[in-house]
Amino acid sequence: MIDNITASPIFGLVLTGVVYFLSQLVYRKYKIPILNPFLISTVFIIALLLIFDIPLTDYLQGGQWIIAALPVTIILLALPLYRQIALLLEHKFAILAGISAGVFTSITSVLILSKLFGIDEALIKSLVPKSITTPLGLIVSETLGGIASVTVIAIVVTGLMGVIIYIPVFKFLKITHPIAQGIAIGTTSHAIGTSKALELGEVQGAMSSLAIVLAGIITVISAPLLLVIFALFPM
């Protein structure tokens, strides 16, 4: 009887929806970054599946439907890009240089540090897109042959770290310009950082949402090049 219920696509859909809704209520009440709705929802669902011995395949019957909607979320990213086009054109060189430098730093630091720490190749490939928005990060992870779930979690942990580290980084390096602050937060910590950038100011928020899309696109386009690098220099 219980098995029949969990194997229905409705189970995964409803479970995800209800848990996400409740996690939003908790987050709105306490407003602490670590209570990130995504993070608590994921931990809660994993715990539930393990405790009640529900197979992952059962959960994914409904979960697949949500995963299938991911491309639609990517299409919608054109909206923040379009809405910030005037600011982008005004400072195009500074913005594009900063985001490209950030993306390059992200990818090379992952490769070098992984090599230093002796991390498995499958994990390295999953970590490459850690600083970009999840739907585009999943494309990069898939192209490189990474593990999707590791990528998603690395992206969210990165986002949460960005919300914490921007204070000392800006202070220490005297990054005071609102445009520089917004681009730095968006390029490092995508949407989770952007919610914080919006609290710093309107320009920071707008620049951060612009950086999410552009950093994501630049990373997706560089992925095939990385494939060549992986082929030439096996990790």
Partner 1 sequence: MMNLIYEIVTVLLIYLAGYGLGLVLPLPGSLMSMAIFFILLLFRVLKSEKYTGISKVILGNLAFFFIPPAVKIIDSMDVLSGNILKLIALLIISNLLVMAVAGKVVQIFLKKEHIDD
Residue type, 174: K
Tokens of 101: 């430098």
Q: Which of 225, 228, 139, 155 is nearest to 193 (CA)?
A: 155
Spell out the residues 6+ positions from residue 63 whose beta carbon is closer than 8 angstroms to its own: 12, 13, 16
Q: Which residues in 29-58 contact partner 1 (CB under 8 A)?
A: 36-38, 41-42, 45-46, 49-50, 56
Q: How far is the CB of 3 from partner 1 (least distance, A)?
A: 18
**Interface with partner 1: number of residues (CB under 8 A):** 104
3-state secondary structure 173-188: CCCCCHHHHHHHHHHH
Q: How far is the CB of 197 from partner 1 (least distance, A)?
A: 12
Tell which positions 165-204 bind partner 1, by CB under 8 A.
165-166, 169-170, 173, 175-177, 179-181, 183-185, 187-189, 191
Instruction: Looking at residues 203 to 232 of the shown chain, list those that interact with partner 1 (rule: CB under 8 A).
Output: 211, 217, 220-221, 224
Cα separation, 95 vs 107, in Å, equals: 18
By CB under 8 A, tell whether 99 contacts partner 1: yes
Instruction: Give the range of 2-10, 125-133, 198-206, 226-234 binding partner 1 by CB under 8 A.
Output: 125-133
Sign of CA dihedral 229, 105, 110, 39: negative
- Strand, helix or coil for residue 5: helix
**Least distance from C-beta 165 to partner 1, angstroms?**
6
Q: Which amino acid is at 149?
A: S
Q: Interface residues for partner 1 in 126-165 (CB under 8 A)?
A: 127, 130-131, 133-136, 138-139, 143, 147-150, 152-158, 161-162, 165
Among 7, 66, 227, 235, binds partner 1 (CB under 8 A): 66
